Structure 1
Amino acid sequence: MSAVVDSTRAAAPRTTPTYVRMRSSRRRVDKPKRSVPLTIVTGVVLVYSLVPLVWLVINSSKTQASLFTSFGLWFSGDFALFSNIADTLAYDDGIFVRWFLNTVLYVVLGAGGATLLAVLGGYALAKFNFPGKRALFAVVIGAVAVPGTALAVPTFLMFSQMGLTNTPWSVIIPSLISPFGLYLMWTFASEAIPNELLEAARIDGAGEFRAFFQICLPLLGPGVVTVLLFTMVATWNNYFLPLIMLKDPAWYPLTLGLNAWNAQASTAGGEAIFNLVITGSLLTILPLIAAFLLLQRYWQSGLTAGAVKE
């Protein structure tokens, strides 16, 4: 009898318990195979991205004389970072502070307005049907493909006829239009807001405005932050549009003002202030770095939203 039992056990196939298979498969998913070429490429891209920032930080701590007598990627002489910052803020009666406030104004009204319009327009295009929707989609896609510099001269001619050049509105109003932001919110709202949720809200008696602000807008949060970051960076770094629109240095943004400082060395009787230009460039990028660090989690979730369907 025991021989029969032993032969039956030997003949029966050995099956691995389900929980063991799940643990082994989970281990394979949690620990992906390392790729040496991918690690090398990522390291090269990281170095390529950080070297200009390191150069900017190091040279912001040098005096005007040390900039031309020392190696660019190492410190030299006295540590003059704080004195350079003080001189940058005080130079020419504190015009740098005025340029900074102008840039903040353009970002708050321009990028903030562009984000608001993109959210409203993207939600409407994603959740409402109306005649001409496909044509409007084609227009939006075409507008994304057109660079902003191609529209700068026609915009200048139109604004000059309206008497708006050399005013803040000549920079703010064109910044309100963001075709890429509109397209991004369009696609994001299509995936982030289920149609069944809207139908349930309407059946419960909620109007369109109430359904949007109380139900849909919280779901659009990651997309809103993503569009806000893109429009903020575009407005903060905008150079060509203010260059052709503004003549009064009092309305310059930081990009145009720092370029004016840099051009002083090539003018007759101009003063070379390269240490202040470099320090001002460092102060200019600090708000962008802070914004990306503070909104990074919302930005990442906004980019990956809708990538996986259940």
Structure 2
Amino acid sequence: MRILQNLEPVYCIDPSELLRPEVKFADKSLSQFRDYSVDENDPIKERVRQTYVQMHTHQTVDFVREKMDKWCKFNHFKATMKETLVKLNELVDESDPDVDIPNIVHAFQTAERIRHDYPDLDWFQLTGLIHDAGKVLAFYNEPQWAVVGDTFVVGCKWGDSIVYRDSSFVDNKDGLNEKYNTKYGIYEPNCGLENLTLSWGHDEYLFRMLEHNKTTLPKHALNMIRFHSFYPWHSGGDYSHLMKDDDEETKKWVTAFNKYDLYTKSTEVPDIEKLWPYYEALIDKYIPGELEW
């Protein structure tokens, strides 16, 4: 909603609306989203489960640090944001139980629903379009378990609400390391989200890439990108002991974004070619030109 303060438009999120995504967002009932039940005879469910097993086995503190060192030099390729989004037309997210369609379709579904509800917040619309652009890592010899899926904190006890939590971490070596397997691990109480190390994937990569390329997207947009897959925190209630006061505001915005990211997934394909001119103008406004990835 919009309020006026000193005659300038100031936008804030109504907390009562955050966890009430409407049925019209989906082609199926809301209870059917994020179904991580195990069924070895269902090829999509088994694909999803195996992706998370690999992720939860190999995403350790050392692994994340190695990936940060490799990818945050931003010397791998150059491309415009549009070129990267078009590339995502070839990607199907192996961790997603809700859809089995190219990622660019989901990008436009998300952006267009945000545009419908927030016609004056063009930065929010663009955030919806580009939020998964970091998945381009999958085209550069990175396995999908190191690119997609829900993120979690490494370096401390794993959150209880992480999907497949009871069985998928059994071979993760950090679980046997006393530095990393306690409630706080390597962190201090209430240290804040920005001081946490999350499992490596497209969220953190895109966040850092945008900062490196000096985007003019606002802080709320960058936080949505960085934490939108951090479901154990923004939806599962984990890691509150590591939050600082400012993180509550971040959570409101991330949760607001989440309903568009999650509940717009459907088999209905938007007219992407017709929409491109509008979103190209937003790209030129906030993240123009050839970018360093």
TM-score, structure 2 normalization: 0.26
TM-score, structure 1 normalization: 0.25
Larger relative strand fraction? 2
Larger relative helix fraction? 1
